[in-house]
Amino acid sequence: MAKKGFSRADWLDAALAVLERDGVDGVKVDRIARELGISRSGFYWHFRNRADFLDQLLEYWVHEFTGVVINNPDIQQGRPEERLLKLIRMVDEYGLNRHDPAMVAWGECDPRVREVFDQVYATRVEFVGAIFSEIGFRGDDLGARTRMFVSYTSWEKRIFAGASKQQRLRWFKVLVDLLTRK
């Protein structure tokens, strides 16, 4: 029986951490169980096998690292500029971009994962693009601003890892100001 308190989400969060550190080949049932400090039998309360686990891991990443953002009521309210700033701060505060590089790497060896990643990226672009569209941007102007924002948001913490949190928060404001200026 699974040790009380270790949920499906605990298994998936631990797997995402391993995926980030060691890639998909490192995501093994025994290893995740060791990292959680429980027996592997607890795994079978939540997953049928490793393939099911990886499928659910991918679904979990889609929901927890994109779905929760675009469905967040706070991100849906206010002026577009305010919403973009809330969005980038939310991604930063909760580390919602931290597994993107691992997903890209996994997608390099699994076309199905690549397809899901591409769908997630398209969803992010569509969501952010709708906000820029509200400001009045169209065509290439809309596409470039949207992609710059999404790319920056996805990779900022990794690229500018040495910057302080205060510096990065100031850059978020500057980024939004630059990208929303007509």
CATH assignment at residue 20: 1.10.10.60
Same domain? For 43 and 120 the reply is no
Residue 36 lies in domain: 1-47
Q: Is 127:134 a contact under the CB 8 Å cutoff? A: no
Whether 54 is covered by a domain: the verdict is no
Same domain? For 91 and 40 the reply is no
Same domain? For 42 and 76 the reply is no
Report pLDDT digits (tens) over 88-107.
999 999 999 999 999 999 99
Report pLDDT digits (tens) over 100-130.
999 999 999 999 999 999 999 999 999 999 9
Whether 42 is covered by a domain: the verdict is yes
Whether 133 is covered by a domain: the verdict is yes
Mean pLDDT of the chain: 94
